[in-house]
Structure 1
């Protein structure tokens, strides 16, 4: 018999609360789940992606993703019970949305996130566009810009988590849902 790792325990705690919000409360709709083991570096990554249940996905393509990861050092230190090991997991939140005015909407998104998260969590926003989408010309220039951009917003946590933070998971999920709603308001 083996004891579950910190990674497994945190993953299950997140899944229990998120699936309850989907199946029982109808607050969110889970649209994707991944549980990956990278055999090249022996790391684990779990992601769960969801949307707000009341938002029609075709009207506002907006989603949140919770990413939990653990390295081989963390897993080995925990399983082998090394005295010097401090096993924990890394946590990141990732949001996806479409925007049409990056100069204005990215600033609104950053402000909304800073109002919800009370610490210095600066989001990393990455914009991308499809090559063959509709383009519009830049006045007085030979350049053409996309009409729609895909914005990927990452909120990495600067500290690692373990089972001591189990009681914080419900609040973290609540903040994630609030952030998803605020991003939706910022891009409309």
Structure 2
């Protein structure tokens, strides 16, 4: 009988809670989802993007990935290996006052999220646009792998994502 991988179990846990927040609670609107197997490097990744139902100027995306090494060690039941997935959060929002807003974003994110993350802010703009309006892509990379033992923590994690979305709308 087929035994789902850690990646599959985490993906389903995130999907269930997020679709409940979309369809039942009406807190968010899911705008995109990707479930991919990259055969060139043998990697699985899943992402789901959403916005708050009542404030749609900031997007959030949750990304989980399982590498070939992670998948193989789990399927082959390699002794001493604890299978897990990498976890990232991506937010996108418009900024005008770059130094002030980016610093405020960094400080706010450090208040919400633990110290074991790396925060990267990448600014872009459309060539030829007249106003000085940048798209800030904010990536939070978690240093610890997420495992099946963390499934019970996903609800609290999603509450922090919603809190982050709310906060980013105020900056």
Equivalent position of 1:168 in the other structure: 153
Aligned with 2:79 (options 80, 83, 86): 83
Rounded Cα–Cα distance in structure 2 between residues aligned with 1:155 and 1:127: 15
Worse overlay, 150-159 or 83-92: 83-92
Partner of 2:68: 72
Q: 1:116 Cα shift?
A: 1.3
Residues 1:179 and 2:152 aligned together:
no
Q: Which residue is 2:35 aligned to?
A: 35
Number of aligned residue pairs: 171
1:149 is aligned to 2:100 = no
Cα distance, 1:119 vs structure 2: 2.8
After superposition, where does 1:72-151 map in structure 2 within 5 Å?
A: 72-135=68-131, 147-151=132-136
Give me the whole-angstrom Cα distance separating, in 2, the residues matched to 1:71 and 1:3. 18
Q: Rg larger in 1 or in 2? A: 1
List runs of 5+ in structure 1 lacking aligned partners.
Answer: 136-146
* Deviation of the 1:122 alpha carbon: 4.4
Q: CA deviation at 1:114?
A: 1.4
- Once residues 115 and 78 of structure 2 are traced to their aligned partners in structure 1, the CA distance between those partners, rounded to angstroms, is 33
Unaligned runs of 5+ in 2: none
**What RMSD, in angstroms, separates the aligned Cα atoms of the two structures?**
1.1
User: TM-score with structure 2 length normalisation?
Assistant: 0.96
2:53 maps to: 53
The structure 1 segments of at least 4 consecutive aligned residues displaced by more than 6 Å after TM superposition are none
Partner Cα separation in structure 1 for residue 42 and residue 149 of structure 2? 24
Displacement, 1:117?
1.7
Q: Deviations over 1:104-140 (max 9, x none)?
A: 11011111111212435342100011112115xxxxx
Q: CA deviation at 1:86?
A: 2.0
1:123 is paired with a residue whose SS is strand
TM-score calculated relative to the size of structure 1: 0.88
CA separation in 2, counterparts of 1:33 and 1:178?
Answer: 21
